[in-house]
Amino acid sequence: MALLRAAFSSLLFSSALALVQDLDDTFKDSRMEDVWLVDFYAPWCGYCKKLEPIWQEVGAELTRSGSPVRVGKMDGTAYSGVASEFGVRGYPTIKLLKGELAYNYKGPRTKDDIIEFANRVAGPAVRSLPSRQMFEHVLKRHSVLFLYVGGESPLKEKYTEVASELIVCTYFFSASEDVLPESVALHELPSVVVFKDGTYFTYDEYEDGSLSSWVNRERFQSYLPIDGFTLYELGETGKLVAIAVTDERDPTERSSRLKGLIQRVATEHRDQFNRDFQFGHMEGNDYINSLIMGEVSVPSIIILNTSNEQYFVPAEPVEDLEQLLRFFSSVLDGSAPAFGGDGFFQRIKRVAYDARSTIMSVFRSSPLLGCFLFGLPLGVISLMCYGICMAESDDDTELMKRDGFTDEEEEEGEEEEQQRLTAGAEGEEDEDAEKIEQKSPTEKKVD
């Protein structure tokens, strides 16, 4: 019986794998009928190869759960026209295609995160919560959620527009006032509320600006773990990203102390810094080093401005909360020195750094392919230069041969010509002397 169940599960899994469809250029004509989750990849891309088994698991899980989302993959190098039409700029690129809309996935490339993204974007932009039990259920499931409370209004129309735009980032719900627990007190209805960090914050049009900007700023927890996938998403909020670069293996526990200090700033000083800063921590300094093209010590504090690639570091190690607060304030008032940036020389440095990193990545992932891609052009260029140099040398030799000279003969000819000139000059001097001797005394006197 156990063997039968195992065989049945294997059969279901194999069927699910088959539903990860290899797509071609006919896909764009038929895709409107369904919701598609598509991986645009390149055969030579090392990151694409790492994503492949995860992508198969995504297809299997969505099929098993009965999701309406269909999963496919497309070789962007073979069908570059289709990839370009969907705005693919690099590999791998994950997009959810829903009618005329195309949503980019920018999160961690894990099975659970990709599936959560697909289910969220494939559903309605605003989900209704009919009961308090349902509200408490989704509140436990999501670290950040937005809720519209009230009836029909212009604010609800605006909320729906923002949800359609930012559903790729977070969840949007609506409910009546009686769904909320008694601990949630709203001063007026309708209202838009964000629940996060164990509390809630209400949108105020006069203090917070446009609803879209407010949602974009509040769509993350005040403090969270940061990796390379989420860093620029945090930057898209328009905030500076303050990071504790840490190491869990730090025997002095200084890493945990820095994390604790930044968490205190995020929670205890929200009114002062929340509009301008997003707080978090990152394990290890490899990614930060590649980002700033430098070396960041571990543990330490760094503030990144992803809009212009500037960064700020404290002049001395941070030891207490007051010192950290002064550092953040100096960044805001412009007194802290900024490093990096997107100036001309920095862009040149970035191009050179990225080129070197790309070459090293290709050689690490596929040494033979790297030798072929970079060795063949260098070999061709070397042969061309050698041929040009040899052609010039042969032309000079041929010219001398046509003139009847070799190198040695030309040197001998020059020596003989010099001797003839010298001999001619001496002969003229002797001849003049003889003429003078033959003159009469009267001619000499005249001379």
CATH number at residue 280: 3.40.30.10
Does residue 57 sit in the same domain as residue 134? no
Does residue 226 sit in the same domain as residue 342? yes
pTM to 2 decimal places:
0.68
Write out the two tokens for 44: 């030579």
Task: Determine, yes or no, domain membership for 418.
Answer: no
Does residue 203 sit in the same domain as residue 234? no
Query: Catalytic site residue 389?
Result: no
Does residue 361 sit in the same domain as residue 297? no
Task: Determine, yes or no, domain membership for 302.
Answer: yes
The domain in which residue 160 lies consists of 124-219
Task: Determine, yes or no, domain membership for 288.
Answer: yes
Q: Which of 204, 219, 234 delimits the end of a domain? A: 219
Residue 314 CB contacts under 8 Å (≥ 6 apart), including other chains: 300, 301, 323, 327
Q: How far apart are the first and last CA of the chain?
A: 141
pLDDT tens readout for residues 284-306: 888 888 888 888 888 899 999 98
For residue 124, the SS3 value is: coil
Tell me the backbone φ, ψ of residue 181, rounded to 5 degrees: -70, 165
For residue 104, the SS3 value is: strand
Q: Which candidate in 45, 169, 371, 385 is catalytic?
A: 45
Q: State how beta strands 310-312 and 339-340 pair.
A: antiparallel
Would you call 19 exposed, middle or buried from its count of C-beta atoms within 10 A (0-12, 13-18, 19+)?
A: middle
Task: Taking residues 329-346, report their average pLDDT.
Answer: 85
Does residue 299 sit in the same domain as residue 354? no
Write out the two tokens for 101: 């809309």
For residue 98, the SS3 value is: strand
What pLDDT, on the 0 to 100 scale, is given for residue 99? Answer: 82
What pLDDT, on the 0 to 100 scale, is given for residue 350? Answer: 63
What pLDDT, on the 0 to 100 scale, is given for residue 17? Answer: 44
Query: Catalytic site residue 48?
Result: yes
Does residue 339 sit in the same domain as residue 378? no
Cβ atoms of residues 163 and 232 within 8 Å: no
- The Cβ of residue 165 has, within 10 Å, a number of other Cβ atoms equal to 14
Task: Determine, yes or no, domain membership for 411.
Answer: no
- Helical spans, DSSP H, in 142-227: 154-166, 205-208, 211-218
- The Cβ of residue 432 has, within 10 Å, a number of other Cβ atoms equal to 10
Q: Which of 201, 219, 237 delimits the end of a domain? A: 219
Task: Determine, yes or no, domain membership for 426.
Answer: no
Q: Which candidate in 48, 169, 371, 389 is catalytic?
A: 48
What pLDDT, on the 0 to 100 scale, is given for residue 261? Answer: 93
Q: Which residue has the higher pLDDT, 28 or 334?
A: 334
Residue 433: is its pLDDT beyond 50? no
Q: Which of 364, 386, 402 delimits the end of a domain? A: 402
Does residue 269 sit in the same domain as residue 331? yes
Task: Determine, yes or no, domain membership for 436.
Answer: no
Does residue 102 sit in the same domain as residue 45? yes
What pLDDT, on the 0 to 100 scale, is given for residue 341? Answer: 79
Q: What percent of the chain has pLDDT over 90?
A: 38
The tally of domains found in the chain comes to: 4
Task: Determine, yes or no, domain membership for 76.
Answer: yes
Q: How confident is the model at residue 281 (pLDDT cuts 50, 70, 90)?
A: very high
Does residue 31 sit in the same domain as residue 82? yes
Mean residue pLDDT of the chain comes to 80
Does residue 248 sit in the same domain as residue 332? yes
Does residue 182 sit in the same domain as residue 198? yes
CA distance 222 to 256: 17
Does residue 333 sit in the same domain as residue 232? yes
Task: Determine, yes or no, domain membership for 342.
Answer: yes
